[in-house]
Structure 1
């Protein structure tokens, strides 16, 4: 694709689209996805040990039943039965604690693996493009203007030490990421400001209604 600007001709390389998609994908994952919460959800929804959880629920149900039965008895009037139920309840509670701990440990391992996979998806493609294709041009610049007289395109646009009159992959990745982050921060600030104004308006209306 050719784009002409006064005295300057820009040639867009097809690779620009791929780089842009990777940067956008990485930005969306890192900004809008809570990796820890997402990992927990995936683990609990797809990789939970249903048999162990079902067993835990049955034990807890039995524990509540025995506790209810024991509480109906007087420790003085039915000492033998009360003691028997209390021992059974203690044994059940110990089993519940152990099983809960095992389930939690198993889930933590799964959450850690899933979190690592999400981190890999978020970072590795972007880092790979940044370093492996860092000098690959995404935009070629043909210009007869004073633009070529300065070293700007040599040390910035074509970093790191690529050819002259190009926009390198590394520069495009960094520039696009800065733009996206700036837009996101601006949107967040506007959203927060609007919410504050709305909250202030609601508070004033409540005060006025109470006064009336």
Structure 2
């Protein structure tokens, strides 16, 4: 893969993750993770919730005075179920905290961290060369800080890619907003017509 495409893809993936949101990706990844590695715990958690709700319902319909033995047995069953559920919830919560830390670290390494590494490794390399005299006196700026004169450096190319992607994102959002706004007045107008017709009928 050429350097020009590699840097663009790194910047694009970083901006895409930022646009989607780390929390959304974390929830999706964690959901998949617990289904693969903690399926039995999740299944047991679901069963316990159902059992506790059923037992509680039965407990509420049982008289503590007239049917004390049955009431006490149901009460012990609810307490035991709640204790087990709390233990499972604690384990899953602890696993989520650990997974969240590892997932966020991995995302940072694969995006921002990798951009730093690539930028440092290719700091003296030219991403591509500009035609002579194309940008006049500001051509030197494109090669900052260490790339050969007349070329575009990795740092400048990263900034350019990020800027273009952000402009593209803003354009897409602006295109989506008007369509949502246009659909709302149509609905309001339809409702007002319907209410006007009802008034006429009445």
Q: In 1, are the aligned partners of 2:59 and 2:74 still within 8 Å (CA)?
A: yes
Give the corresponding residue for 1:5. none
Summarize the alignment of residues 27-38 of structure 1 with structure 2, pairs less than 5 Å apart.
27-32=15-20, 34-38=21-25
Question: What SS class does the counterpart of residue 137 from structure 1 fall into?
Answer: coil
Report if the CA contact (8 A) 2:146-2:153 is conserved.
no
Residue of structure 1 in register with 2:187 after alignment: 202
Query: C-alpha separation between the residues in 1 aligned to 2:125 and 2:178?
Result: 42
* Cα distance in 2 for residues equivalent to 1:92 and 1:124: 46
Q: 1:210 to 1:134 in 2, by over 3 A?
A: farther
In 2, Cα distance between equivalents of 1:185 and 1:191: 10
Tell me if 1:123 matches 2:116: no
Deviations along 1:153-201, whole A, 9 cap, x unmatched? 11x2111153321111211110111011012112212211221122122
Given that residues 26 and 126 in structure 1 are in contact (C-alpha distance below 8 angstroms), is that contact kept between their aligned partners in structure 2? no
Q: What is the CA–CA distance in structure 1 between the aligned matches of 2:133 and 2:98, rounded to whole Å?
A: 60
User: What is the distance in 1 between the residues matched to 2:56 and 2:146?
Assistant: 75
Off by >6 Å, runs of 4+ in structure 1: none
When normalised by structure 2's length, the TM-score is: 0.81
- Structure with more strand by fraction: 1
1:43 pairs with one of 19, 30, 40: 30
Note the 1:16-35 alignment, pairs <5 A: 16-32=4-20, 34-35=21-22
Partner of 1:53: 42
Task: Give the distance between the partners of 2:17 and 2:49, measured in 1 at CA.
Answer: 39
Greater RCO structure (CA 8 Å; 6+ sep): 1
Change (3 A) 1:180 1:98: same
Compute the displacement of 1:114 (Å).
2.1
Measured on the aligned residues, the alpha-carbon RMSD in Å equals 2.4
**Offset of 1:107 from its aligned partner?**
2.4
**Whole-Å separation in 2 of the counterparts to 1:29 and 1:197:** 29
Of 50, 68, 71, 1:79 maps to 68
Q: What is the number of residues matched between the two proteins?
A: 194
Say if 2:11 and 2:111, in contact at 8 Å, map to a contact too: no
Asked if 1:188 is matched to 2:170, the reply is: no
- C-alpha distance in structure 2 between counterparts of 1:187 and 1:62, whole Å: 49
After superposition, the Cα gap between the structure-2 partners of 1:91 and 1:200, relative to the gap in structure 1 and judged at 3 Å, is same
* Corresponding position of 1:101: 90
| Contact kept in structure 2, 1:135 and 1:158, CA below 8 Å | no
Instruction: Name whichever structure is richer in helix by fraction.
Output: 2
Aligned to 1:69: 58
1:112 Cα shift? 2.4
Aligned residue for 2:147, secondary structure, equals coil
